[in-house]
Structure 1
């Protein structure tokens, strides 16, 4: 497959200068609820779920989901599917889950390359769920299993499911790839599927929860104000058992002032020590939270093409 034309990708995703984000116009995307009988622990929380629009431009969306009680997948289907799937886990510092910037915006770019995309809206650990820090991981595992369980009937390859996580979503994607935290109780045949991705893409990930390079807000919302050393170690990606994990690509900007690039560097060292096939792209400029619509004219603008090339070499796409 030839290199992707950048302008064609941007036009397909609604990311031209006139409309730099998920367009407001157009049909609603297909959605899959994760839990057929409601999310585990739903009766033990009192929340008011809301999707908040942050964009002041009437042409495009920049939404966040807060106090989610019914996690779901939003499906973005390509015109010509190639059998590969991508679970996208947006960031939000575990305070909220981004909908567009690191979700639907990115999904529409990868869908243009033939990838069937699934954007996860997940529950947040600071909202009082009885599962504590495991609640978002519970949703991520269920989401991957649901995609895999339905893959055959949808013309998708159940052995070609990648995950792309950004910022705190990158932490969650890393946990999906490597964490041995206890699993949720199986409720149906979906939970018999493998919970591991076939390729990992971590975009400016929150990796370490240890000072001085931790993203303090993510750590606080995940583990509370005074986490123990044991909890910090258990939830830091660079300390997880990565041996046997799928091939992984890291993307980070060196000028990231929110999640220091040392997060990616520490994780890179851990992956190499675990003999995981890994590639890292560190860009001089880009800042944090750039997704696909905030990087025009910056070195990081090429990251989707680099991810697709990595996925092609490792059998995710043809």
Structure 2
């Protein structure tokens, strides 16, 4: 797997982004052999292209979590890209704007960046040898809310078009949520993510508008979810209620709930502790193959 290029979503600093905002990275790991970086101050949102050795045409935009206060680069970005590379999946690591960093668009910056990411990958699919009808989005934790929002509000006008790519659909062809934040409503909301997105005193109307489980339709893309039953941070009902909304709308969905894993299990951290949840990327790969979301090799 190689890093080929970094693509600016908006060709530089987007309108409404504070001029004083500058990116910085905090290394949080206490293990010299395992990085755990968090990115903040995102003034120029981007996609980093991570190419597998043998791309098969399927791509996934990966949005790492971080309570909408940071973007966790390694365990919720690089690790899943490496896990999917043997399947031939091209990964685009999304560095999205954080709503609490003074952007004029406020809570819509995350949806705008997610929509724009899907449109850019679709617009340039031929350049990377990708199938424009096999583009997924994967969100961890708070970015599960971002991914679920793009999956349910892909046609909401979150920004003013800037080029031809914005004439394309922002609908992902599939959606993957890992220990996701989904709802913005009590009693199952992750309060830290809600405060970062909507502030300390959101109205009931704001909470409803930004709760993706309330906006599922028959056109919402098929979804794969994985989480831990003992997650102490994000209640399992976030994923369960999103699944129920998908089921009610007739949207195919698959959900795996492991008894142990807590929150933020990633891949390597769970494997180091011998947790069965560490095998979730294989389940995702099986789901992609079974649903014909990857191109199968023929003899």
What residue is the counterpart of 2:159 in the other structure? 184
How far 1:45 sits from its partner (Å)?
4.8
> Which secondary structure state, in structure 2, belongs to the residue aligned with residue 201 of structure 1?
strand
What residue is the counterpart of 1:173 in the other structure? 147
Structure 1 residues 37 and 28 mapped into 2: Cα distance closer, same or farther (>3 Å)? closer
2:118 maps to 1:144: yes
What residue is the counterpart of 1:306 in the other structure? 283
How many residues of Structure 1 are paired with residues of Structure 2 in the alignment?
A: 292
> Which secondary structure state, in structure 2, belongs to the residue aligned with residue 103 of structure 1?
helix
2:228 maps to 1:259: no
Whole-angstrom CA distance in 2 between matches of 1:93 and 1:37: 25
Gaps of 5+ in 1: 1-11, 13-26
What residue is the counterpart of 2:194 in the other structure? 219
Q: Which moved more, 1:203-212 or 1:27-36?
A: 27-36
Please report the TM-score for the alignment, with normalisation by the length of structure 2: 0.94
Whole-angstrom CA distance in 2 between matches of 1:288 and 1:131: 29
Structure 1 moving runs of 4+ over 6 Å: none
Please report the TM-score for the alignment, with normalisation by the length of structure 1: 0.88
2:47 maps to 1:46: no
From 71, 74, 93, the counterpart of 2:48: 74
Give RMSD over aligned pairs.
1.5
Whole-angstrom CA distance in 1 between matches of 2:51 and 2:3: 12
Deviations 1:258-282 (A, max 9, x none): 0011111111111111111111101
How far 1:203 sits from its partner (Å)?
0.6
CA contact (8 A) 2:3 2:48 kept: no
Whole-angstrom CA distance in 2 between matches of 1:28 and 1:276: 34
Whole-angstrom CA distance in 1 between matches of 2:290 and 2:174: 11
How far 1:48 sits from its partner (Å)?
2.9
What residue is the counterpart of 2:180 in the other structure? 205
What residue is the counterpart of 1:21 in the other structure? none
2:92 maps to 1:92: no
CA contact (8 A) 2:266 2:278 kept: no
Whole-angstrom CA distance in 1 between matches of 2:4 and 2:179: 27
